[in-house]
Amino acid sequence: MAIATRFSLFLFLTFLFTLSPVSAWDWIQNPAVNGGQDDGWQSLPELPGAQLITDWPVPGTSSVMPVYQSAGLDTSRVTRAIIVPGAKARDHWSYWVTMQNIKMDFASTNSSFDPNTTSILTPCFLAEQDIEAGAGKPDQLYWGKTSWFGGYYTKGPNADDKISSFDVLDSLVDYYTNETMYPNMQTVIFAGHSAAAQFFQRYAAVRQPTKNDDRVNYIIANPGSYLWLVQDRPAQNSSCPDVDEYKYGLNNGLPGYSTGDYSRIGRDGIVSRYLGRNVHYALGTNDNGPGDTQCQALTQGSTHLERGNNFIAMLKALPDGMPSQHTVDMIEGVSHQNDQMFNSTQLRQRLFKDVSTTTSAGTPQTTQNNANTSSKNNGALSSKLISSGSLGIAMTLVLGGLSL
Ligand SMILES: *[C@@H]1O[C@H](CO)[C@@H](O)[C@H](O)[C@H]1NC(C)=O
Ligand SMILES: *[C@@H]1O[C@H](CO)[C@@H](O)[C@H](O)[C@H]1NC(C)=O
Ligand SMILES: *[C@@H]1O[C@H](CO)[C@@H](O)[C@H](O)[C@H]1NC(C)=O
Ligand SMILES: *[C@@H]1O[C@H](CO)[C@@H](O)[C@H](O)[C@H]1NC(C)=O
Ligand SMILES: *[C@@H]1O[C@H](CO)[C@@H](O)[C@H](O)[C@H]1NC(C)=O
Ligand SMILES: *[C@@H]1O[C@H](CO)[C@@H](O)[C@H](O)[C@H]1NC(C)=O
Mean pLDDT to the nearest integer, 103-123? 97
Mean pLDDT to the nearest integer, 324-347? 97
**116: CA distance to ligand 2 center in Å?**
6
253-291 pLDDT, tens digit per residue, is 999 999 999 999 999 999 999 999 999 999 999 999 999
Is the confidence at residue 371, as pLDDT, over 60?
Answer: no
Of 29-33, 245-249, 294-298, 381-385, the range with the lowest mean pLDDT is 381-385
Of 82-91, 130-139, 370-379, the range with the lowest mean pLDDT is 370-379
Nearest atom in ligand 2 to the alpha carbon of residue 116 is 1
Residue having the nearest C-alpha atom to atom 2 of ligand 3:
180
**387: CA distance to ligand 2 center in Å?**
20
Q: Which of 78, 104, 105, 113 to mutate to test the pocket of ligand 1 (most atoms within 8 A of CB)?
A: 113
Looking only at the bridges linking them, the beta strands covering 50-57 and 64-70 are antiparallel
Q: Which of 56, 180, 210 to mutate to test the pocket of ligand 3 (most atoms within 8 A of CB)?
A: 180
Mean pLDDT to the nearest integer, 392-402? 33
Pocket flag, ligand 1, residue 112 (CB < 6 Å)? yes
Is residue 401 located within the same domain as residue 341?
Answer: no
Is the confidence at residue 6, as pLDDT, over 80?
Answer: no
pLDDT at 23: 65
Of 214-218, 373-377, 398-402, which has the strongest mean pLDDT?
Answer: 214-218
11-55 pLDDT, tens digit per residue, is 555 444 444 445 688 899 999 999 999 999 999 999 999 999 999
**52: CA distance to ligand 3 center in Å?**
21
Is the confidence at residue 397, as pLDDT, over 50?
Answer: no
Is residue 83 located within the same domain as residue 126?
Answer: yes
Q: Which of 374, 376, 378 to mutate to test the pocket of ligand 5 (most atoms within 8 A of CB)?
A: 374
Is residue 166 located within the same domain as residue 229?
Answer: yes
Pocket flag, ligand 1, residue 369 (CB < 6 Å)? no
Is residue 376 located within the same domain as residue 402?
Answer: no
**367: CA distance to ligand 5 center in Å?**
17
**48: CA distance to ligand 2 center in Å?**
14
Confidence of residue 374 (pLDDT cuts 50, 70, 90): very low
Pocket flag, ligand 2, residue 116 (CB < 6 Å)? yes
Is residue 302 located within the same domain as residue 177?
Answer: yes
Pocket flag, ligand 1, residue 110 (CB < 6 Å)? yes
Residue having the nearest C-alpha atom to atom 5 of ligand 4:
240
Is residue 9 located within the same domain as residue 118?
Answer: no
Residue 102: strand, helix, or coil: helix
**80: CA distance to ligand 1 center in Å?**
14
Is the confidence at residue 393, as pLDDT, over 90?
Answer: no
Considering only residues 304 and 12, tell me which one the structure prediction assigns the higher pLDDT. 304
pLDDT at 180: 98
Is residue 270 located within the same domain as residue 397?
Answer: no
Pocket flag, ligand 2, residue 114 (CB < 6 Å)? yes
Is residue 144 located within the same domain as residue 17?
Answer: no
Domain of residue 303 covers 22-386
pLDDT at 225: 98
Is residue 17 located within the same domain as residue 83?
Answer: no
**84: CA distance to ligand 3 center in Å?**
23
Is the confidence at residue 10, as pLDDT, over 90?
Answer: no
**212: CA distance to ligand 2 center in Å?**
28
Of 10-14, 121-125, 352-356, which has the strongest mean pLDDT?
Answer: 121-125
Mean pLDDT to the nearest integer, 183-188? 98
pLDDT at 26: 86
- Ligand approaching nearest to the C-alpha of 71: 2
Of 8-22, 121-135, 243-257, the range with the lowest mean pLDDT is 8-22
Domain count of the fold of the chain: 2
pLDDT averaged over every residue in the chain: 87
d(CA 68, CA 146): 21
Pocket flag, ligand 1, residue 113 (CB < 6 Å)? yes
Pocket flag, ligand 3, residue 112 (CB < 6 Å)? no
pLDDT at 364: 45
Q: Who lines ligand 5 at CB under 6 A? A: 332-333, 372, 374-375
Residue having the nearest C-alpha atom to atom 5 of ligand 2:
72
Is residue 17 located within the same domain as residue 79?
Answer: no
Is residue 365 located within the same domain as residue 404?
Answer: no
- Ligand approaching nearest to the C-alpha of 183: 3
Is residue 197 located within the same domain as residue 151?
Answer: yes
- Ligand approaching nearest to the C-alpha of 376: 5
pLDDT at 105: 97
Q: Check which CATH number belongs to the domain holding 41 and give it.
A: 3.40.50.1820
